[in-house]
Structure 1
Amino acid sequence: MEDILKKLTIFVLEDDPTISKFLHVFLSDYFKKVMVKTDNRFSYSDLCDIDVFLLDIEIPFDNGYEVCKRIKTLYPQKPVIFLTAHSQIEDKIKGLELGDEFIPKPFEPLELIARIKNLLKDRYKHHFYLKSVVVDEQIHKIFDRETRTEIPLSKTESKLFFYLFENIDISLSREQIINHVWGESDQTNQANSLNVYINSLRNKIDHEDELIQTIYGYGYKLSAPKE
Protein backbone atom coordinates (compact mmCIF):
# COMPACT_ATOMS: atom_id res chain seq x y z
CA MET A 1 0.00 0.00 0.00
CA GLU A 2 2.92 2.35 0.68
CA ASP A 3 4.00 2.00 -2.95
CA ILE A 4 0.52 3.00 -4.09
CA LEU A 5 0.36 6.06 -1.80
CA LYS A 6 3.66 7.32 -3.22
CA LYS A 7 1.98 7.52 -6.61
CA LEU A 8 -1.10 9.45 -5.40
CA THR A 9 -2.03 13.08 -4.81
CA ILE A 10 -4.12 14.07 -1.78
CA PHE A 11 -6.17 17.27 -1.53
CA VAL A 12 -6.52 18.78 1.94
CA LEU A 13 -9.14 21.42 2.77
CA GLU A 14 -8.37 22.79 6.24
CA ASP A 15 -8.67 26.41 7.39
CA ASP A 16 -6.71 26.08 10.64
CA PRO A 17 -3.16 27.23 9.72
CA THR A 18 -1.47 25.04 12.34
CA ILE A 19 -3.31 21.87 11.32
CA SER A 20 -3.05 22.56 7.58
CA LYS A 21 0.71 23.11 7.86
CA PHE A 22 1.12 19.95 9.92
CA LEU A 23 -0.93 17.88 7.47
CA HIS A 24 1.09 19.19 4.54
CA VAL A 25 4.38 18.16 6.15
CA PHE A 26 3.11 14.87 7.60
CA LEU A 27 1.27 13.65 4.51
CA SER A 28 4.19 14.56 2.24
CA ASP A 29 6.07 11.60 3.73
CA TYR A 30 3.41 9.25 2.38
CA PHE A 31 1.97 10.80 -0.78
CA LYS A 32 3.53 11.88 -4.04
CA LYS A 33 1.92 15.31 -3.71
CA VAL A 34 -0.12 17.16 -1.08
CA MET A 35 -2.33 20.06 -2.17
CA VAL A 36 -3.61 22.21 0.70
CA LYS A 37 -6.39 24.82 0.52
CA THR A 38 -7.79 26.87 3.39
CA ASP A 39 -11.10 27.94 1.80
CA ASN A 40 -13.30 27.15 -1.20
CA ARG A 41 -11.57 29.57 -3.58
CA PHE A 42 -10.37 26.94 -6.01
CA SER A 43 -11.62 25.54 -9.29
CA TYR A 44 -13.20 22.09 -9.11
CA SER A 45 -12.13 21.43 -12.67
CA ASP A 46 -8.52 21.64 -11.48
CA LEU A 47 -9.04 18.66 -9.17
CA CYS A 48 -9.13 16.01 -11.89
CA ASP A 49 -5.67 14.72 -10.92
CA ILE A 50 -6.51 14.40 -7.22
CA ASP A 51 -6.73 10.82 -5.93
CA VAL A 52 -7.95 11.36 -2.32
CA PHE A 53 -9.80 14.25 -0.68
CA LEU A 54 -9.43 15.18 3.01
CA LEU A 55 -12.01 17.79 4.05
CA ASP A 56 -12.79 19.84 7.12
CA ILE A 57 -16.44 20.78 7.55
CA GLU A 58 -16.11 24.36 8.78
CA ILE A 59 -14.29 26.37 6.12
CA PRO A 60 -14.61 30.01 5.00
CA PHE A 61 -17.26 30.80 2.37
CA ASP A 62 -18.71 27.28 2.33
CA ASN A 63 -18.81 24.02 4.27
CA GLY A 64 -17.19 20.65 3.73
CA TYR A 65 -20.50 18.93 3.07
CA GLU A 66 -21.21 21.12 0.05
CA VAL A 67 -17.65 20.71 -1.20
CA CYS A 68 -18.03 16.95 -0.90
CA LYS A 69 -21.28 17.01 -2.90
CA ARG A 70 -19.63 18.87 -5.75
CA ILE A 71 -16.59 16.59 -5.72
CA LYS A 72 -18.78 13.50 -5.80
CA THR A 73 -20.81 14.95 -8.66
CA LEU A 74 -17.69 15.52 -10.75
CA TYR A 75 -15.56 12.62 -9.51
CA PRO A 76 -17.93 10.01 -8.04
CA GLN A 77 -15.31 7.26 -7.75
CA LYS A 78 -12.77 9.31 -5.79
CA PRO A 79 -12.71 8.83 -2.01
CA VAL A 80 -13.59 11.71 0.32
CA ILE A 81 -12.60 11.68 3.99
CA PHE A 82 -13.95 14.15 6.55
CA LEU A 83 -11.45 15.28 9.19
CA THR A 84 -13.36 17.55 11.51
CA ALA A 85 -14.07 18.75 15.03
CA HIS A 86 -17.77 18.09 14.40
CA SER A 87 -18.12 14.86 16.34
CA GLN A 88 -21.86 14.65 16.98
CA ILE A 89 -23.52 11.48 15.75
CA GLU A 90 -25.64 13.41 13.24
CA ASP A 91 -22.47 14.95 11.77
CA LYS A 92 -20.85 11.54 11.48
CA ILE A 93 -23.92 10.03 9.82
CA LYS A 94 -24.16 12.90 7.33
CA GLY A 95 -20.43 12.70 6.62
CA LEU A 96 -20.56 8.97 5.95
CA GLU A 97 -23.65 9.36 3.77
CA LEU A 98 -21.92 11.96 1.60
CA GLY A 99 -18.34 10.77 1.78
CA ASP A 100 -16.41 7.60 2.48
CA GLU A 101 -14.82 8.05 5.92
CA PHE A 102 -15.25 10.30 8.97
CA ILE A 103 -12.42 11.05 11.41
CA PRO A 104 -13.04 13.36 14.38
CA LYS A 105 -10.50 15.84 15.74
CA PRO A 106 -8.27 15.59 17.64
CA PHE A 107 -6.83 12.72 15.64
CA GLU A 108 -3.82 10.44 15.75
CA PRO A 109 -1.72 10.99 12.59
CA LEU A 110 -0.80 7.32 12.20
CA GLU A 111 -4.45 6.34 12.62
CA LEU A 112 -5.30 8.79 9.82
CA ILE A 113 -2.79 7.06 7.53
CA ALA A 114 -4.10 3.64 8.54
CA ARG A 115 -7.68 4.68 7.72
CA ILE A 116 -6.63 6.12 4.36
CA LYS A 117 -4.79 2.90 3.50
CA ASN A 118 -7.78 0.83 4.53
CA LEU A 119 -10.11 2.98 2.44
CA LEU A 120 -7.89 2.72 -0.62
CA LYS A 121 -7.15 -0.99 -0.25
CA ASP A 122 -10.33 -2.15 -1.97
CA ARG A 123 -10.11 0.55 -4.63
CA TYR A 124 -6.61 -0.44 -5.68
CA LYS A 125 -6.59 -4.19 -5.06
CA HIS A 126 -7.14 -4.79 -8.78
CA HIS A 127 -4.09 -2.74 -9.74
CA PHE A 128 -1.07 -4.58 -11.11
CA TYR A 129 2.23 -2.75 -11.50
CA LEU A 130 4.02 -3.64 -14.71
CA LYS A 131 7.18 -1.61 -15.16
CA SER A 132 6.10 1.90 -16.23
CA VAL A 133 2.38 1.14 -16.36
CA VAL A 134 -0.40 0.25 -13.94
CA VAL A 135 -2.95 -2.28 -15.11
CA ASP A 136 -6.46 -2.11 -13.67
CA GLU A 137 -7.74 -5.64 -14.06
CA GLN A 138 -11.28 -4.75 -13.01
CA ILE A 139 -12.06 -2.01 -15.51
CA HIS A 140 -9.59 -3.16 -18.21
CA LYS A 141 -7.62 0.07 -18.42
CA ILE A 142 -3.93 0.92 -18.35
CA PHE A 143 -2.39 3.97 -16.66
CA ASP A 144 1.00 5.61 -16.76
CA ARG A 145 2.67 4.68 -13.49
CA GLU A 146 4.23 8.09 -12.94
CA THR A 147 1.47 10.49 -14.02
CA ARG A 148 -1.52 8.18 -13.26
CA THR A 149 -3.08 9.25 -16.57
CA GLU A 150 -4.86 6.68 -18.69
CA ILE A 151 -3.04 5.30 -21.70
CA PRO A 152 -5.73 5.15 -24.41
CA LEU A 153 -6.11 1.83 -26.20
CA SER A 154 -8.31 1.02 -29.13
CA LYS A 155 -10.82 -1.81 -28.73
CA THR A 156 -8.52 -4.22 -30.59
CA GLU A 157 -5.42 -3.08 -28.68
CA SER A 158 -7.24 -3.58 -25.39
CA LYS A 159 -8.45 -7.05 -26.36
CA LEU A 160 -4.95 -8.04 -27.44
CA PHE A 161 -3.21 -6.61 -24.39
CA PHE A 162 -5.56 -8.12 -21.82
CA TYR A 163 -5.39 -11.53 -23.49
CA LEU A 164 -1.62 -11.38 -23.11
CA PHE A 165 -2.03 -10.04 -19.57
CA GLU A 166 -4.44 -12.80 -18.53
CA ASN A 167 -1.77 -15.26 -19.67
CA ILE A 168 1.21 -13.36 -18.28
CA ASP A 169 4.52 -15.23 -18.55
CA ILE A 170 2.90 -17.81 -20.86
CA SER A 171 3.99 -18.06 -24.51
CA LEU A 172 0.97 -17.77 -26.80
CA SER A 173 1.06 -18.85 -30.42
CA ARG A 174 0.13 -16.43 -33.16
CA GLU A 175 -2.85 -18.69 -33.93
CA GLN A 176 -4.10 -18.54 -30.33
CA ILE A 177 -3.86 -14.76 -30.26
CA ILE A 178 -5.53 -14.25 -33.64
CA ASN A 179 -8.34 -16.67 -32.72
CA HIS A 180 -9.01 -14.73 -29.53
CA VAL A 181 -8.81 -11.22 -30.99
CA TRP A 182 -10.30 -11.70 -34.47
CA GLY A 183 -11.81 -15.19 -34.58
CA GLU A 184 -10.82 -18.45 -36.24
CA SER A 185 -11.93 -17.45 -39.75
CA ASP A 186 -9.45 -14.59 -40.00
CA GLN A 187 -6.11 -16.40 -39.54
CA THR A 188 -4.69 -15.46 -42.93
CA ASN A 189 -6.17 -11.98 -43.17
CA GLN A 190 -5.12 -10.91 -39.69
CA ALA A 191 -1.54 -12.23 -39.63
CA ASN A 192 -0.16 -8.82 -40.63
CA SER A 193 -2.66 -7.03 -38.41
CA LEU A 194 -1.25 -8.83 -35.38
CA ASN A 195 2.22 -7.46 -36.13
CA VAL A 196 0.79 -3.96 -36.49
CA TYR A 197 -1.10 -4.08 -33.19
CA ILE A 198 1.83 -5.61 -31.29
CA ASN A 199 4.04 -2.76 -32.50
CA SER A 200 1.35 -0.25 -31.54
CA LEU A 201 1.17 -1.64 -27.99
CA ARG A 202 4.93 -1.58 -27.69
CA ASN A 203 4.99 2.07 -28.73
CA LYS A 204 2.43 2.92 -26.05
CA ILE A 205 3.51 0.84 -23.05
CA ASP A 206 6.78 -0.92 -23.76
CA HIS A 207 9.39 1.57 -24.92
CA GLU A 208 12.24 -0.58 -23.59
CA ASP A 209 10.94 -3.79 -25.24
CA GLU A 210 10.88 -5.65 -21.93
CA LEU A 211 7.20 -6.47 -21.52
CA ILE A 212 5.99 -7.89 -24.82
CA GLN A 213 8.46 -10.53 -25.96
CA THR A 214 8.56 -12.14 -29.39
CA ILE A 215 8.84 -15.93 -29.32
CA TYR A 216 10.46 -16.39 -32.71
CA GLY A 217 8.71 -18.91 -34.93
CA TYR A 218 5.85 -19.21 -32.45
CA GLY A 219 4.17 -16.08 -31.06
CA TYR A 220 4.34 -13.61 -28.19
CA LYS A 221 4.50 -13.44 -24.40
CA LEU A 222 3.81 -10.68 -21.89
CA SER A 223 6.44 -10.89 -19.18
CA ALA A 224 6.36 -9.52 -15.64
CA PRO A 225 9.89 -8.14 -15.13
CA LYS A 226 11.38 -8.24 -11.66
CA GLU A 227 11.91 -4.75 -10.27
Structure 2
Amino acid sequence: MPKQTILTVDDNEEIRNIIKILLESEGYEVREACDGETALEMVNDEIDLIILDIMMPGQSGLDVCKKIRENYQMPILFLTAKGTDSDKSLGLLIGGDDYLSKPFSHAELTARVKSLLRRYYVYKGKEAPSDDAFLSYDIFKVAKDRNEVFARNSEGQEVQLDLSELEYQIFKLLISNPSRVFPAQLIYETIWNEPYFYSSNATIMVHIRNLRTKIEEDPSNPRHLLTVWGKGYKLQ
Protein backbone atom coordinates (compact mmCIF):
# COMPACT_ATOMS: atom_id res chain seq x y z
CA MET A 1 0.00 0.00 0.00
CA PRO A 2 1.48 3.42 -0.95
CA LYS A 3 2.36 5.82 1.85
CA GLN A 4 -0.26 8.35 2.82
CA THR A 5 0.93 11.89 2.11
CA ILE A 6 0.66 14.76 4.56
CA LEU A 7 1.34 18.40 3.80
CA THR A 8 2.43 20.46 6.81
CA VAL A 9 2.16 24.24 6.49
CA ASP A 10 3.91 26.37 9.11
CA ASP A 11 6.25 29.37 8.94
CA ASN A 12 8.23 27.93 11.88
CA GLU A 13 10.90 25.62 10.47
CA GLU A 14 11.47 23.94 13.84
CA ILE A 15 7.79 23.00 14.09
CA ARG A 16 7.84 21.64 10.55
CA ASN A 17 10.92 19.55 11.36
CA ILE A 18 9.33 18.12 14.50
CA ILE A 19 6.17 17.16 12.63
CA LYS A 20 8.19 15.65 9.79
CA ILE A 21 10.27 13.51 12.15
CA LEU A 22 7.23 12.35 14.15
CA LEU A 23 5.05 11.48 11.18
CA GLU A 24 7.78 9.90 9.06
CA SER A 25 8.48 7.62 12.03
CA GLU A 26 4.82 6.52 11.70
CA GLY A 27 5.30 5.68 8.02
CA TYR A 28 3.80 8.77 6.37
CA GLU A 29 5.27 10.80 3.54
CA VAL A 30 5.57 14.42 4.68
CA ARG A 31 5.77 17.47 2.42
CA GLU A 32 6.43 20.96 3.74
CA ALA A 33 5.35 24.50 2.96
CA CYS A 34 6.62 27.57 4.81
CA ASP A 35 3.67 29.84 3.95
CA GLY A 36 0.15 29.85 2.60
CA GLU A 37 1.07 30.81 -0.94
CA THR A 38 3.49 27.88 -1.25
CA ALA A 39 0.93 25.53 0.26
CA LEU A 40 -1.70 26.47 -2.31
CA GLU A 41 0.77 25.72 -5.09
CA MET A 42 1.55 22.30 -3.57
CA VAL A 43 -2.00 21.09 -2.87
CA ASN A 44 -3.14 18.38 -5.27
CA ASP A 45 -4.97 15.06 -5.29
CA GLU A 46 -1.91 13.26 -3.92
CA ILE A 47 -2.29 14.99 -0.55
CA ASP A 48 -4.27 12.93 1.97
CA LEU A 49 -4.20 15.39 4.88
CA ILE A 50 -3.05 18.96 5.58
CA ILE A 51 -1.67 20.22 8.88
CA LEU A 52 -2.19 23.96 8.71
CA ASP A 53 -0.93 26.69 11.04
CA ILE A 54 -3.38 29.56 11.52
CA MET A 55 -1.00 32.40 12.40
CA MET A 56 1.30 32.89 9.40
CA PRO A 57 2.62 35.97 7.60
CA GLY A 58 0.88 36.73 4.33
CA GLN A 59 -2.18 34.54 3.92
CA SER A 60 -3.40 33.15 7.23
CA GLY A 61 -4.26 29.51 7.67
CA LEU A 62 -7.94 30.43 7.66
CA ASP A 63 -7.59 32.12 4.26
CA VAL A 64 -5.67 29.14 2.90
CA CYS A 65 -8.30 26.72 4.19
CA LYS A 66 -11.08 28.63 2.44
CA LYS A 67 -9.24 28.46 -0.88
CA ILE A 68 -8.40 24.77 -0.50
CA ARG A 69 -12.04 23.99 0.18
CA GLU A 70 -13.01 25.45 -3.20
CA ASN A 71 -11.47 22.40 -4.90
CA TYR A 72 -10.44 19.75 -2.36
CA GLN A 73 -11.98 17.78 0.51
CA MET A 74 -8.96 16.18 2.20
CA PRO A 75 -9.02 16.66 6.00
CA ILE A 76 -7.40 19.77 7.44
CA LEU A 77 -5.94 19.77 10.95
CA PHE A 78 -5.41 23.29 12.28
CA LEU A 79 -2.24 23.67 14.34
CA THR A 80 -1.83 26.88 16.29
CA ALA A 81 -0.72 28.45 19.53
CA LYS A 82 -4.16 29.98 19.91
CA GLY A 83 -6.47 27.81 21.97
CA THR A 84 -9.73 29.61 22.71
CA ASP A 85 -13.11 28.13 21.87
CA SER A 86 -13.78 31.00 19.44
CA ASP A 87 -10.60 30.22 17.47
CA LYS A 88 -11.55 26.57 17.31
CA SER A 89 -15.11 27.29 16.23
CA LEU A 90 -14.00 29.68 13.49
CA GLY A 91 -11.50 27.18 12.12
CA LEU A 92 -14.11 24.42 11.99
CA LEU A 93 -16.74 26.70 10.46
CA ILE A 94 -14.59 27.65 7.48
CA GLY A 95 -13.75 24.04 6.62
CA GLY A 96 -11.27 22.64 9.13
CA ASP A 97 -11.77 19.12 10.46
CA ASP A 98 -9.90 19.23 13.75
CA TYR A 99 -7.80 21.52 15.90
CA LEU A 100 -4.59 20.96 17.86
CA SER A 101 -2.92 23.58 20.05
CA LYS A 102 0.83 24.04 20.41
CA PRO A 103 2.67 22.61 22.25
CA PHE A 104 1.47 19.13 21.38
CA SER A 105 2.64 15.63 22.25
CA HIS A 106 3.71 12.94 19.80
CA ALA A 107 0.82 10.75 20.94
CA GLU A 108 -1.78 13.49 20.51
CA LEU A 109 -0.57 14.52 17.04
CA THR A 110 -0.41 11.00 15.66
CA ALA A 111 -3.79 10.12 17.17
CA ARG A 112 -5.44 13.10 15.48
CA VAL A 113 -3.74 12.33 12.17
CA LYS A 114 -4.74 8.66 12.20
CA SER A 115 -8.32 9.49 13.18
CA LEU A 116 -8.75 12.07 10.41
CA LEU A 117 -7.20 9.83 7.77
CA ARG A 118 -9.34 6.88 8.74
CA ARG A 119 -12.55 8.91 8.61
CA TYR A 120 -11.52 10.36 5.24
CA TYR A 121 -10.84 6.95 3.73
CA VAL A 122 -14.07 5.52 5.11
CA TYR A 123 -15.92 8.51 3.65
CA LYS A 124 -14.28 7.86 0.28
CA GLY A 125 -15.33 4.22 0.47
CA LYS A 126 -11.78 2.87 0.53
CA GLU A 127 -12.15 0.96 3.77
CA ALA A 128 -14.71 0.14 6.41
CA PRO A 129 -14.27 -0.17 10.16
CA SER A 130 -14.13 -3.68 11.59
CA ASP A 131 -14.07 -5.25 15.03
CA ASP A 132 -10.28 -5.54 14.64
CA ALA A 133 -10.16 -1.74 14.84
CA PHE A 134 -11.40 -1.77 18.45
CA LEU A 135 -10.16 -2.78 21.89
CA SER A 136 -12.94 -4.34 23.98
CA TYR A 137 -13.19 -4.92 27.71
CA ASP A 138 -16.26 -5.54 29.86
CA ILE A 139 -18.87 -2.97 28.79
CA PHE A 140 -16.39 -0.81 26.85
CA LYS A 141 -15.21 -0.68 23.25
CA VAL A 142 -12.40 1.70 22.26
CA ALA A 143 -11.27 2.48 18.72
CA LYS A 144 -7.54 1.90 18.24
CA ASP A 145 -6.84 4.84 15.95
CA ARG A 146 -9.52 7.46 16.56
CA ASN A 147 -11.32 9.06 19.49
CA GLU A 148 -14.38 6.82 19.58
CA VAL A 149 -15.34 5.10 22.83
CA PHE A 150 -18.54 3.16 23.44
CA ALA A 151 -20.13 1.72 26.59
CA ARG A 152 -22.96 -0.78 26.85
CA ASN A 153 -25.77 0.58 29.02
CA SER A 154 -28.13 -1.37 31.30
CA GLU A 155 -30.42 -2.04 28.33
CA GLY A 156 -27.61 -3.61 26.33
CA GLN A 157 -27.31 -0.65 23.92
CA GLU A 158 -23.97 0.84 22.85
CA VAL A 159 -23.67 4.50 23.79
CA GLN A 160 -20.81 6.68 22.55
CA LEU A 161 -18.89 8.53 25.26
CA ASP A 162 -17.71 12.09 24.73
CA LEU A 163 -14.05 11.98 25.80
CA SER A 164 -11.41 14.61 25.23
CA GLU A 165 -8.39 13.51 23.23
CA LEU A 166 -6.24 13.11 26.35
CA GLU A 167 -8.99 11.21 28.19
CA TYR A 168 -9.29 8.91 25.18
CA GLN A 169 -5.53 8.29 25.09
CA ILE A 170 -5.42 7.48 28.82
CA PHE A 171 -8.43 5.16 28.57
CA LYS A 172 -6.99 3.39 25.52
CA LEU A 173 -3.71 2.85 27.38
CA LEU A 174 -5.51 1.35 30.38
CA ILE A 175 -7.81 -0.84 28.31
CA SER A 176 -4.86 -2.18 26.31
CA ASN A 177 -3.90 -4.23 29.36
CA PRO A 178 -6.81 -4.38 31.83
CA SER A 179 -6.07 -5.21 35.46
CA ARG A 180 -2.49 -4.02 35.04
CA VAL A 181 -1.58 -1.17 37.37
CA PHE A 182 -0.23 1.79 35.40
CA PRO A 183 1.94 4.15 37.50
CA ALA A 184 1.30 7.86 37.05
CA GLN A 185 4.81 8.27 35.62
CA LEU A 186 4.18 5.72 32.87
CA ILE A 187 0.83 7.30 31.99
CA TYR A 188 2.31 10.80 31.85
CA GLU A 189 5.40 9.94 29.81
CA THR A 190 3.37 7.80 27.39
CA ILE A 191 0.49 10.22 26.81
CA TRP A 192 2.16 13.60 27.20
CA ASN A 193 5.45 12.39 25.69
CA GLU A 194 7.55 14.54 28.02
CA PRO A 195 9.57 14.03 31.21
CA TYR A 196 7.64 13.26 34.38
CA PHE A 197 7.96 15.36 37.52
CA TYR A 198 6.22 14.90 40.86
CA SER A 199 3.98 17.89 40.08
CA SER A 200 2.68 15.94 37.06
CA ASN A 201 0.63 13.83 39.48
CA ALA A 202 -1.89 16.65 39.78
CA THR A 203 -2.37 16.68 36.00
CA ILE A 204 -2.94 12.92 35.94
CA MET A 205 -5.41 13.09 38.83
CA VAL A 206 -7.49 15.79 37.12
CA HIS A 207 -7.77 13.77 33.92
CA ILE A 208 -8.58 10.55 35.79
CA ARG A 209 -11.31 12.36 37.72
CA ASN A 210 -12.78 13.78 34.52
CA LEU A 211 -12.58 10.37 32.86
CA ARG A 212 -14.45 8.77 35.75
CA THR A 213 -17.30 11.26 35.46
CA LYS A 214 -17.81 10.09 31.87
CA ILE A 215 -17.41 6.31 32.18
CA GLU A 216 -18.71 5.55 35.67
CA GLU A 217 -22.35 5.38 36.72
CA ASP A 218 -21.28 6.65 40.17
CA PRO A 219 -17.89 8.46 39.88
CA SER A 220 -17.61 8.73 43.67
CA ASN A 221 -17.74 4.93 43.90
CA PRO A 222 -16.03 3.75 40.70
CA ARG A 223 -16.49 0.16 39.53
CA HIS A 224 -14.19 0.21 36.50
CA LEU A 225 -11.39 2.79 36.81
CA LEU A 226 -9.71 2.20 40.16
CA THR A 227 -6.92 3.93 42.04
CA VAL A 228 -4.32 1.64 43.57
CA TRP A 229 -2.96 3.92 46.25
CA GLY A 230 0.77 4.49 46.01
CA LYS A 231 0.99 2.50 42.77
CA GLY A 232 -1.20 3.96 40.05
CA TYR A 233 -4.43 3.26 38.17
CA LYS A 234 -6.06 0.23 36.57
CA LEU A 235 -9.23 -0.97 34.92
CA GLN A 236 -11.23 -3.68 36.66
Q: TM-score, normalised by structure 1?
A: 0.50
Amino acid at match of 1:68: C
CA distance in 2, matches of 1:128, 1:89: 33
Match of 1:12 among 8, 11, 20: 8
Range 40-49 or range 24-33, more displaced: 40-49
2:115 aligned residue (115, 118, 131): 118
1:51 aligns with 2:72: no
Alignment counterpart, residue 26 of structure 2, candidates 12, 24, 30: 30
Cα separation, 2, equivalents of 1:46 and 1:40: 10
How many residue pairs get aligned? The number is 124
Alignment partner, residue 63 of structure 1: 60
Q: Deviations over 1:99-150 (max 9, x none)?
A: 1001111111211111121122222233259xxxxxxxxxxxxxxxxxxxxx
Structure 2 contact 9–39 (Cα < 8 Å) conserved: no
1:90 to 66, 86, 100: 86
Whose Rg is larger?
1
Note the alpha carbon deviations across 1:173-207, whole angstroms, 9 max, x for none.
xxxxxxxxxxxxxxxxxxxxxxxxxxxxxxxxxxx
Query: How many angstroms does 1:32 deviate by?
Result: 3.6
Return the offset for 1:40.
Answer: 2.3
Cα distance, 1:60 vs structure 2: 1.7
Percent of paired sites with the same residue: 35
Structure 1 residues 64 and 112, CA, compared in 2 at 3 Å: closer, same or farther? same
- Could you list the runs of 5+ residues in structure 1 that have no partner in the other structure? 130-227
Q: Partner of 1:127 in structure 2?
A: 126
What is aligned with 2:158?
none
1:80 aligns with: 76
TM, length-normalised to structure 2: 0.48
d(CA) in 2 for partners of 1:56, 1:43:
11
Match of 2:99 among 75, 98, 102: 102
* Equivalent pair of 1:8/1:33 in contact (CA under 8 Å): yes
Give a deviation string over 1:198-226, Cα, whole Å, max 9, x none.
Answer: xxxxxxxxxxxxxxxxxxxxxxxxxxxxx
Mapped partners of 1:121, 1:128: distance in 2: 8
Indicate how the Cα distance of structure 1 residues 128 and 63 shifts in structure 2: closer, same or farther if over 3 A, else same.
Answer: closer
Structure 2 portions without partners, runs of 5+: 129-236
Please say if residues 9 and 31 of structure 1, whose CA atoms lie closer than 8 Å, have aligned partners that are also in contact. no
Task: Provide the C-alpha distance between the structure 2 equivalents of 1:55 and 1:32, rounded to a whole number of angstroms.
Answer: 17
